[in-house]
Structures are given as C-alpha cells and as structure tokens.
Structure 1
C-alpha cells in the first residue's frame, strides 16, 4: 500500500483496517498529539457506515473531476489518476452531513436490540465486486483479526474461521450507537458476500435462531458475553450449518 495519504484517506484506511502496523502506530501517535485529527476520526467512526463498501458502487461512477476540484490533494498523488482512497475520502466529506442525519434517525427509530437490522441494511449493498479489491494476505488478515478481537474482547484465530467454499476477506470494527461491532467478511464462491458480526453483550446464552432480513438468511445466537449474527445469501440450511461451525469454533 502506498504511504501517501491525505488526512481523510488515512483515517478511512485506519477504520477499514487497511494500514500496516507501522502506519497504524504512526497514526495513533498523531491522534494523541493532534486533537483536531482525533475529533475527525471520532466523527467518521460514529457515523456507523463501512465507508469503503458503502461507497464502492457509487465511486465506480463518481464524478472524479468535480470531486478533485472540490477537495484537491495537498500534493500530486504518485499514482496515475485519482485513487479510490481519494474518492472515498472526498465522498465522506461530501456526504458528512447526510451521514450524521442518517445516524440520528437510526438512533431514534431503531430499538436497542435491533442492531441486526442495521447490519442487514448495509450488507444488502454488498456484491462480490465489493470484496474483490481487498488485500486478503495471511499477514494482513492476522493483523486485522488480532486488532478486531482485542477491541471486542474475543479471540479470532484465523484457522477457526475457515469455511468450506468461502474465502475470508477481512475483519474490521464498525460502530452502532457508540457500541462496537466486529465484522468478518467472506466471499462465498457460489453465493457471494457472507458476514459474521459480533457485539459485546452480557446476558444469558441464547441458542441459534434463524430469520430473513433484506432478502438474506440470518442466523443469530449469544454466548453470555457476545451476540453473534451470520448473514448471507446462502440457503437457510447451509447458513445453519455454517453458524454451528462458527459457534463451536468461537466458544470459550
């Protein structure tokens, strides 16, 4: 990954777990020293949206010249043309007020336990092309899984997350009503994007249950310290089998 970033590009890459360890450490030092940068990160993090995925279909048709004119890069980018990171950052800035408004509406209209509905809304935007551009090298995945697991208080070893017919593509931390959501995404060779989402939630363990949201099959359960949700276009019976495997693999 190029080391060149504008501020918003860097923050989006940080939220998307796309920085290497050295870049992450450098940014975290800057966040400690620069309150304005930390405030900007807080704004993006609280917006609840996975920016790279949410904007990917729009960026394919984005008015690049208009975005570049409105948010010119500080210095010429070394690569040819405008980078997808630059367009993402520009789109984030352009839509910031709308994102904040959407978040306020979601907070007012969604019950506390309906985080699954929010997940289903943005998962409905995913296509195989959404996940095609991820760097899913073992080293980067291991770093993402460790970071995501630490933020959610759960071990996420890559070998226990292997699913037949699906490639693990990335792990990230999202936000919902100031609560963290871990999102692990796979690309199933037959049925497309598949995601396991996790929140910290104490309470009684709950056995797996099934439902449909946004035209996708969902299996959800809880282990007493976390709630889990597996969502995808796989048939219901296959989703149940995959959920059973993950439930067994991630049990303490």
Structure 2
C-alpha cells in the first residue's frame, strides 16, 4: 500500500509540474525503462475525474493532522490550498486508514445515467496494492456490510458475497451528488481489484447487460429498488458468471 501510494503521489506531482529538475529527470529515466509505470502515468494523465470536486468534502471533514502524522506526505501546500498531488495522496491515505467514517465522496454534477462512468473512473485508479493493505477481521467486514446495507436499505451479509478466487476487503458508502453508492471491494488473486457498486434507484427490473469502461469489464442490472454494477479486470465471461451469482444471492 505505501509503495502504491508513493508512486501515485510522485506521478501526480510530475503531471502538476511540482518536481524539481533532478526529481523529474530521475522519474523520466524510470518511465523510459518501466512500461507499467508509464502506463500508470498515462492513466492518471487521461483521467477526467475532477479530483478537487470529488475529494474536497472529504478533505474538509478529515482529521488532517492524523493523516499527515501517519503518512509522510511530501506536500508543500498548506491543507487549505491542496494541489491535485495532495488530493490524490490524501485519497489514497484515506483508503489505507479507513478514516472519516469509512466514506469517500463522488459529489459530481452528472446525470443519473452516468453514475457507472463515474464509478469506472474512480475504480481505474485502483491497483492490487490499493487493497493489499486491508486486513480487516471477519467481524470488522461484517460490521461494514451491516452499516453499508442499512444506508442503502439492502441486506448485505458475508455468506451472500463469497466469490471464488477473490477476498472481500471492505464495504463503504460513496456519495454521488445527494445519492449514496454502496461499494463492496474484493481483491481477486489473479485480476486485481473487483467491485460491486449499488445505488438506490427504484424502477423496473432490468436484466444483466455488459459493457467496457476505462479498460475494465462491467456487468450491470437492476431490480425494483436498486441498480447494481460489477466492475473489474476479470475476463468478460468470468464477470458475467460472478454477476449472475451475485444477482441470485442478493435477491434471495
């Protein structure tokens, strides 16, 4: 986790032209010889996720001094003049610490039918290392599921959410404008981060459909009270199978 955090902070600093010439030269040498690092830079560079709007509410209420004392942030700006570099670093730090009520925010002014696009942009920043630091006990994860389910009026329990080859890491509530999104995240041993996102959206049931977003496979469906979205790097066939399993178990 700390390695992924430091790497993203460095890359965002590079994009924001906040590195001194020597740091910039060293990083450019690494980029020339490390394709994975160059790909990560490209992802961060082309992401249209508006970081400041997305994370500003979280930063306003976060225990900044605790965050700064726990993770050595190399940010020269004061807390109330945080750059995009600081926002990324803080966001990753919040994920690692599980602070601020275990919430993150996606408060963006977008139409309701774009919520999947917003989640995909958010999930595109996840790496396996992002979730590797989560080692919550079964009791802690059960409590997160209870809290998250209560907020969205849906029954969530660990037996319903067992996926072969993937470990359930956490459950949290994201905010989308004035709406809530439940995010359940697994670490798939082979393909990395995998997430089921749920939004309260009454309407007619819709069968599962598939799409591609941000280089990931997505399966989405809805019942009379909620819309669901499963997103990850697993192959499309695998995603369809997992989505079918979750659809059955959550409907039971």
Normalising by structure 2, report the TM-score.
0.61
Checking the alignment, whether the CA contact within 8 Å between 1:152 and 1:180 is kept in structure 2 is yes
Matched residue, 2:58: 44
In structure 2, what is the Cα distance between the partners aligned to 1:232 and 1:221? 15
Pair 1:164–1:88, CA change in 2 (3 A): closer
Are 1:174 and 2:162 matched, yes or no? no
Matched residue, 1:39: none
Matched residue, 2:114: 114
1:125-140 matches, cutoff 5 A:
125-140=125-140
In structure 1, what is the Cα distance between the partners aligned to 2:243 and 2:133? 26
Checking the alignment, whether the CA contact within 8 Å between 1:127 and 1:193 is kept in structure 2 is yes
Are 1:63 and 2:62 matched, yes or no? no
Pair 1:198–1:211, CA change in 2 (3 A): same
Displacement of 1:113: 1.3
Pair 1:134–1:111, CA change in 2 (3 A): same
1:10-29 matches, cutoff 5 A:
none
Pair 1:151–1:86, CA change in 2 (3 A): closer
Normalising by structure 1, report the TM-score.
0.61
Pair 1:61–1:43, CA change in 2 (3 A): closer
Displacement of 1:62: 3.7
CA-to-aligned-CA distance 1:144-186 (integer Å, 9 cap, x gap) = 0000000000000101100000000000000001100000000
Which consecutive residues of structure 1, in runs of 5 or more, have no partner in the other structure? 1-41, 48-54, 72-83, 90-99
Displacement of 1:111: 2.2
Pair 1:196–1:46, CA change in 2 (3 A): farther
Matched residue, 1:196: 196
In structure 2, what is the Cα distance between the partners aligned to 1:192 and 1:220? 19
Matched residue, 1:7: none
Are 1:231 and 2:242 matched, yes or no? no
Q: Matched residue of 1:113: which SS?
A: helix
In structure 2, what is the Cα distance between the partners aligned to 1:227 and 1:87? 27
In structure 2, what is the Cα distance between the partners aligned to 1:46 and 1:193? 28
In structure 1, what is the Cα distance between the partners aligned to 2:167 and 2:124? 19
Displacement of 1:60: 8.2
Which consecutive residues of structure 2, in runs of 5 or more, have no partner in the other structure? 1-55, 62-66, 80-88, 95-104
| C-alpha RMSD over aligned residues | 3.2
Checking the alignment, whether the CA contact within 8 Å between 1:201 and 1:225 is kept in structure 2 is yes
Q: Matched residue of 1:190: which SS?
A: coil
Pair 1:179–1:212, CA change in 2 (3 A): same
How many pairs were matched up?
A: 172
